[in-house]
Structure 1
Amino acid sequence: MSTATSRRPYGAEGAPRGLTSPATGRARARSAPFVFLVPATLLFALFFALPIGYAVYLSFRKVHVSGLGLGSGARKEVWAGFENYTDAFHDSELLHGALRVLGYGCIVVPVMLGLALLFALMLDSEKVQLAPFTRLAIFLPYAIPGVVAALMWGFLYLPSVSPFFYVLHKLHLPQPDLLDGGPLYLALANIAVWGGTGFNMIVIYTSLRSIPAEVYEAAKLDGASALQVALRIKIPMVAPSLVLTFFFSVIATLQVFNEPTTLKPLTNSVNTSWSPLMKVYQDAFHRGDVYAAAAEATLIALATLVLSFGFLRAANRRNKQEAR
């Protein structure tokens, strides 16, 4: 018996061979999450971090042309420093595009979030009928690609093919040109509001459904009406969802591209640099100046980052003050 026991194979730490020691098991358990993160990290680095880094690198470069620009050595890529950024700051087209997007956002963000909150409160009401169908009908426009939505609304805006203009003509009512001048902002904002309200509504509605039923029961026992419950209980308790939807809406507004680009062939009021991203596209693919486009894209990304996180910080600071 003792002979058999002495011949039993043991590892270096005294544990039987083929079995894992407790220390080794704990080490493997600690490293397991990092192993699962490797594929996502590689994809993030290859398709997100690396392109951003390369764009930032290009923003500090430019093409130096010597002589008449003829020959293989006449055009050479050189270090430009902050020259592209200085040119972008002094570019009137980029500045005017930013101002246009600001006016566009002042229409889109309040209207879209207001409608999303209203629809979410209505769907959360006990008296609503056909709630699943209504929820799907409001959310469905979000599933339509932005280019398709812009094309669809663009043809609805054209007096020659739009059924709305036909009805207005038969009723002898004025037929405004929605793709010209000031109404263009309303036409573009309408596309964004129609397509984005459903997503924001779902976010707010999900937050409403997570409120405990005991809160509503206590409010009813205190004699609160449905309007008072909505204003004093529901809206304050879904404030984090409102902040989140506002955050997403601001980012989407600063990156507007599909709607004006798609409507551009239908009207003369949308130029090639109507929005900052359209200016970047124009410089990169029409003028062939990828270096200036990279600098402009970097500035847009930085502006989005500063505005978004600045708003989040202000919202968090206000929540902490209210908690006190």
Structure 2
Amino acid sequence: MTSARRRSYGVKGAPYAFLLPATVLFALFFTLPIGYAVWLSLHKVKVSGLGLGAGARSEVWAGLENYTDSLTDPELLAGALRVLGYGCIVVPVMLGLALLFALMLDSEKVRLAPFTRLAIFLPYAIPGVVAALLWGFLYLPSVSPFFHVLDALSLPQPDLLDGGPLYGALSNIAIWGGTGFNMIVIYTSLRAIPAEVHEAAKLDGATPLQTALRIKIPMVAPSLVLTFFFSIIATLQVFNEPTTLKPLTNSVSTTWSPLMKVYRDAFGTGDIYRAAAEAVIIALATLVLSFGFLRAANRRNRQDARQGGAR
């Protein structure tokens, strides 16, 4: 009886044993760092006297002081506005191109589909820093072959790393690198549409454009929501592109994006407590925006389902 009971406990405990390594890694590399960042954000350094000697600097409780200072910091707010403008360019253009490429590859008349699919996806496999460096040198008039061609044709040479064109230059890097991944996600959903649906559309006399607009795009709506969700998170966390281009232009400051502001405060000025508060604020903003978007998308799907059931 005891042996059977032990075997029963062993069978019931097997799933927890399999989950234990992942749970430990999750706690060590995700939960604990987040908890430590929150703890740091609630503290600050108190300097006594001139700040020299042992015990002149001590860590004290700050409460919400770091959060108040961060939310009223004009540099952080300006970085958030710059990222907002950057995202208004990147997200719609990138997802629009990804959807267009996916629909084109799903067409029956497309040729060399495997090669084309790989060519579109390949930029995503290039590390972001390497891609930013490559595009950065292409933007420099002194080394870019495109500017030599413009010079030979006596055409104006725009400065892509200054002023308004800087947003387009940064957005181009993100679009070039992220379109392929989103295209694969959407294309996979398109390939999962049953063949009977396409045959029914042909029998009804639908053109390829009508099929794409009225059948394919509505059926891959969950994939569009997923890619939009990922794109929003990536936009809020933009860091590689402006940081890599910063040595090439004076238009990119050390606080161009919120994450660059966090990096400067943590490793430039050494105020890890303020940087921790800013990081927590960015994480909460990402969570709120993502949760709000997913909730709105789910509400829309439920409404569509009810309308479809009513019909």
Q: Normalising by structure 2, report the TM-score.
A: 0.97
2:255 counterpart SS class: coil
* Structure 1 residue runs without a partner (length 5+): 1-11, 14-19
2:212 counterpart SS class: helix
2:59 counterpart SS class: strand
**Residue number in structure 1 paired with 2:42:** 60
Alpha-carbon shift at residue 171 of structure 1 (Å)? 1.4
Alpha-carbon shift at residue 30 of structure 1 (Å)? 2.7
Counterpart pick for 2:213 among 206, 215, 231:
231
**Residue number in structure 2 paired with 1:172:** 154
Alpha-carbon shift at residue 53 of structure 1 (Å)? 0.5
Alpha-carbon shift at residue 71 of structure 1 (Å)? 1.1
Cα deviation code 1:110-143 (max 9, x no counterpart): 0000000000000000100000000000000000
What amino acid sits opposite 1:162 in the alignment?
S
**Residue number in structure 2 paired with 1:102:** 84
The yes-or-no answer on 1:86 pairing with 2:68 is yes
What amino acid sits opposite 1:42 in the alignment?
V
- C-alpha distance in structure 1 between counterparts of 2:220 and 2:9, whole Å: 42
Counterpart pick for 1:268 among 250, 262, 268:
250
- C-alpha distance in structure 1 between counterparts of 2:104 and 2:110, whole Å: 7
How do 1:128-147 residues align onto structure 2 when only pairs under 5 Å count?
128-147=110-129
Alpha-carbon shift at residue 34 of structure 1 (Å)? 1.2
Cα deviation code 1:149-194 (max 9, x no counterpart): 0000000000000011111111121110000000000000000000
- C-alpha distance in structure 2 between counterparts of 1:58 and 1:290, whole Å: 7
Cα deviation code 1:240-276 (max 9, x no counterpart): 0000000000000000000000000000100000000
The yes-or-no answer on 1:281 pairing with 2:258 is no
- C-alpha distance in structure 1 between counterparts of 2:86 and 2:11, whole Å: 51
The yes-or-no answer on 1:258 pairing with 2:213 is no
Q: How many residues align?
A: 306
Task: Mark the structure with the bigger radius of gyration.
Answer: 1
What amino acid sits opposite 1:84 in the alignment?
N
Cα deviation code 1:77-117 (max 9, x no counterpart): 00000000000011000000000000000000000000000
Q: Normalising by structure 1, report the TM-score.
A: 0.93
How do 1:1-324 residues align onto structure 2 when only pairs under 5 Å count?
12=1, 21=4, 24-324=6-306
1:309 counterpart SS class: helix
* Structure 2 residue runs without a partner (length 5+): 307-311
Alpha-carbon shift at residue 29 of structure 1 (Å)? 2.8
Q: CA-atom RMSD, angstroms?
A: 1.0
Distance 1:225 1:25, change over 3 A: farther
2:251 counterpart SS class: coil
Alpha-carbon shift at residue 27 of structure 1 (Å)? 3.6
Question: Percent identity between the aligned chains?
Answer: 82
- C-alpha distance in structure 1 between counterparts of 2:286 and 2:105, whole Å: 32
Alpha-carbon shift at residue 28 of structure 1 (Å)? 2.9
- C-alpha distance in structure 1 between counterparts of 2:156 and 2:132, whole Å: 24
What amino acid sits opposite 2:131 in the alignment?
A
Query: Segments of 4+ in structure 1 off by > 4 A?
Result: 23-26
